[in-house]
Amino acid sequence: MSDRLGFVLSKIVSLEEAKRLVAMYHLKQEKVVFTNGCFDILHLGHVTYLAKTAELGNRLIVGINSDASVKALNKAPNRPINDEKAREQVIASLGFVDLVVLFEDDTPINLIKELMPDVLVKGGDYDANEQNPSSKKYIVGSDVIRQNGGELVTIDLVDGFSTTSIIQKSKEG
């Protein structure tokens, strides 16, 4: 294995390893930023979103939905297109991503509670001020982050880029 591929793979960690590293980052007074998603087919919208997310702190941790978790979201019968190992590796290959952690649950709430990031980020289709957990705009974990003095941030999505639209275009093409 090349050193560069080894470096990419070293960013993919277990929850226990992520917790250890987050504790170390906090000891160094580094600001930890967390976001999550399926990141099924990496596109310009994802890269822009993740780059802007990384700018909000010193360390970026990305939670990736497991294959079972993606299926539970009912995105489409054929999703995910890329399996969890492929999606982890693609996201870990981005220079501004520090850690990638896979999660099996329907939501990243347990990951957020365990890692306790300083900043929780979601796309502009969410609302940082939404308090109702049954709202589609509610950010899972926002209550935990608020209670611990953390920040909630939403980042505008890039128009015209979504995995769903890419899949649709490929069917038409």
Q: What is the pLDDT along the chain (173 residues), one digit of tens a residue?
A: 679 999 999 999 999 999 999 999 999 999 999 999 999 889 899 999 999 999 999 999 999 999 999 988 876 777 898 999 999 999 999 999 999 999 999 999 999 999 999 999 999 999 999 999 999 999 999 999 999 999 999 999 887 666 666 656 666 76
Q: What does the longest C-alpha to C-alpha distance in the chain come to?
A: 52
DSSP letter assigned to residue 12: B
**CATH at residue 139:** 3.40.50.620
* Boundaries of domain holding 10: 3-172
Q: Which residue has the tokens 């941790």?
A: 61
For the entire predicted model, the pTM comes to 0.92
The CA distances from residue 163 to 38, 61, 75, 129, in Å, are 10, 21, 10, 26
- Count of the separate structural domains present in the chain: 1
Residues contacting 21, CB < 8 A, separation 6+:
13, 99
